[in-house]
Amino acid sequence: MARPRPEPVQKVKQRRDAALKALVQGVPYIQFLGIEFDRRGDELTAVMPFDEKLIGNPILPALHGGATAAFLEVSAIIGLSWSMLWDQIESGAFDADALVDGKMPRLPKTIDFTVDYLRSGLPRDAYARARINRSGRRYASVHVEAWQDNHGRPFAQATGHFLMPVRDG
Amino acid sequence: MDRKKIAEQFIGAIPHSKALGMELIEITDGAAEIAMAYDPRFVGDPESGVIHGGAVSALMDTCCGTAVMSHPTSPGGTATIDLRIDYMRPATPGQKITARAHCYHITRSVAFVRATAMDEDEDKPVATATGTFTVQGAA
């Protein structure tokens, strides 16, 4: 038996981008910080474009530790939600339109979050990627790394534990 | 200039803390109390209206740093080395969040800080934090 014909690439991309956009745009604090997500397949890179209001030390100047922590936490939660929803997005079960209308899926909740500040955050764009070290039915452990000009010289990293939302079935 | 005035100017001089509407309530030797009013722009869960953990982190970080700088033996500046936050419960939507930090030990190079964040229910903390900070500015 012949396998079904693969979907056209535009349709696949459109569905994934719509799901990601809906997930990110629904959270006011992500918009407040101006964080965006760059997607390559299922891999996400969080981008926080530099803005004056992210400054914590105006003399250096350097990014605020709280802005860095928030950036890492946003990257972790969206990364975890994305991987949690991926199968639904791929099967078409995930309804991005409903999300845009304000019906957000339940997001993971932060239990604890530990940030290591490795060097001061420069007044430039920052990038981050999350790695899910464990994702169980109830708990997940996520590591996030953030860098600016050089990926090999991260300026902050974090590990957090999350409570997964109760899912049907 | 007295310590409170210095700290007030200090918060006003931090663009990120100012953007989050932080307000210095009290400052004593090695301790600080800072409040952040509820703002719909800081919401992390649109369904419930609960403030994002990241905004609570920013409040905790600012409050801990202020406590370090207000310590009598602190020569001036500080930067966060590490900060761990435990989230006990979601902050009640509509209520302001108040953080209290205490710098309980300081050496020539490192300051150790603990903090608690409360909403208007003073019995149950929203979050607690422990952190280490650099001690800078020694001549």
State the smallest CA–CA distance between residue B86 and chain A in angstroms: 4
* Structural domain boundaries enclosing A97: 9-163
Contact with chain B for residue A71, Cβ under 8 A: yes
Q: Return the CATH number at B95.
A: 3.10.129.10
Is residue B110 one of the residues assigned to a domain? yes
Domain membership of residue B95 as a residue range:
3-134
Q: Is B102 contained in some domain?
A: yes
User: Is B138 an 8 Å CB contact of chain A?
Assistant: no
Phi, psi torsion values for A141, nearest 5 degrees? -120, 125
Model's pTM, two decimal places? Answer: 0.93
Residue of B nearest to A105 (CA): B47
Residues of A with CB below 8 A from B81's CB? 116-117
Indicate whether B1 pLDDT > 80.
no
Instruction: Judge whether A2 lies within some domain.
Output: no
In a domain, B139, yes or no: no
The answer, yes or no, to whether residue A2 has pLDDT greater than 80, is no
The residue of chain B with its CA nearest to that of A66 is: B58
Task: Report the C-alpha gap between B100 and B62 in whole angstroms.
Answer: 10
Half-sphere exposure of B68 (CA within 13 A, CB side): 30
Question: How many structural domains comprise chain A?
Answer: 1
Contact A55, B15 (CB under 8 A): yes
Number of separate domains in chain B: 1
Cross-chain residue pair A29–B90, CB shorter than 8 Å: no
A148: domain CATH number is 3.10.129.10
Residue A1 lies in a domain: no
Q: Which of A26, A31, A66 sits opposite B61 (nearest CB)?
A: A66
Query: Does a structural domain hold residue A132?
Result: yes
Residue B39 within a domain: yes
Residue A98 lies in a domain: yes
Is pLDDT above 80 for B71? yes
Quote the ipTM score: 0.93
**Cα end-to-end span (Å), chain A:** 32
Given the structure tokens 């452990």, which residue do they identify?
Answer: A141
Residue A105 lies in a domain: yes
Tell me the pLDDT band of B14, cut-offs 50, 70 and 90. Answer: very high
| Range A7-18 average pLDDT | 89
Query: How many other CB atoms sit within 10 Å of the CB of residue A57?
Result: 20
pLDDT band at A118 (very low <50, low <70, confident <90, very high): very high
The answer to whether the CB atoms of B43 and A26 lie below 8 A apart is no
Cis peptide bond upstream of A108, omega within 30: no
The CB density around residue A15, as the number of other CB atoms within 10 Å, is: 16
| Share above pLDDT 90 across residues of chain A, in percent, rounded to a whole number | 69
Is B126 a member of any domain?
yes
- Contact: B16, A55; criterion CB under 8 Å: yes
Report the pLDDT value the prediction gives residue A169, as an integer from 0 to 100: 44
* Structure confidence by residue, pLDDT tens digits, A124-135: 999 999 999 999
A168 belongs to a structural domain: no
pLDDT at residue B93, as a whole number:
97
